[in-house]
Amino acid sequence: MKIIMLGAPGAGKGTQAKMIAEKYSVPHISTGDIFRANIKNGTQLGMEAKKYMDQGLLVPDELTVKILLDRVAKEDCAGGYVLDGFPRTIPQAQVLDNALKELDDQIDFAINVDVPDENIVRRMGGRRACLSCGATYHIEHIPSKKEGVCDACGKELVLRDDDKPETVKNRLDVYHQQTQPLIDFYEKKGILRTVDGTVDMKDVFAAITAILD
């Protein structure tokens, strides 16, 4: 089962992707995680990606495509995978389609987690991250035990630059221009399924599993 998660930044598709991966025992592949690992390790790729991410811009295709195709070729992806954060544009989707066709393969479902912009700005403004261990929290929904301190490693929690309201609005503008056309792309292919992302995350997950099962 090969699944693509769609939805605006902050729609909760990453959380759902992890839950899908756990339930169906397939890898959760997040380009965001790959980029953050490179940024944390100070690699050239990471520093280049950070320049774009800090401005709320999408990382260019050439920094993304090779990493992803290499990842899905690994043995643990033989039974399927959940892609989170890729593709973001029609050209990326076409590159992925062509690469999979060469392997006599294809994506089974594109799941769109639908959330209005105003909900997302409010949601992301409450996120807090530990830059030391990578743990994430939310001041309303998943608060740390001690305010501003990571439960896992005790380091300070911060509001990342890409979660600040002005950056989120910029990211949403970019999303509507570049990424939302993917919804039409996968709808034409007949594999798009849309779920309401404004309800409780367990209800979102129930709607997704009803589609996959």
Among 13, 36, 50, 123, the active-site one is: 13
Question: Is 123 known to be catalytic?
Answer: no
DSSP single-letter state for residue 134: -
Among 2, 36, 88, 128, the active-site one is: 88
Among 2, 36, 50, 171, the active-site one is: 171
Among 50, 123, 127, 128, the active-site one is: 127
Burial state string for 35-54 with b = 16 or more CB within 10 A and e = fewer than 16 = bbebbeeeeebbebbbeebe
Alpha-carbon distances, residue 194 vs 178, 187, 208, 213 (angstroms): 18, 10, 9, 15
Q: How far apart are CA 5 and CA 90, in angstroms?
A: 14
198: left (phi over 0), alpha (psi -120 to 50) or beta: alpha
Question: Is 36 known to be catalytic?
Answer: no
Q: How far apart are CA 57 and CA 173, in angstroms?
A: 10
Q: How far apart are CA 119 and CA 104, in angstroms?
A: 40
DSSP assignment of 155-197: PBEE--GGGSHHHHHHHHHHIIIIITHHHHHHHHHT-EEEEET
DSSP assignment of 139-162: TTTB--SSTTB-TTT-PBEE--GG
Residue 200 tokens, joined: 């409780």
Question: Is 122 known to be catalytic?
Answer: no
Residues identified as active-site: 13, 88, 127, 160, 171
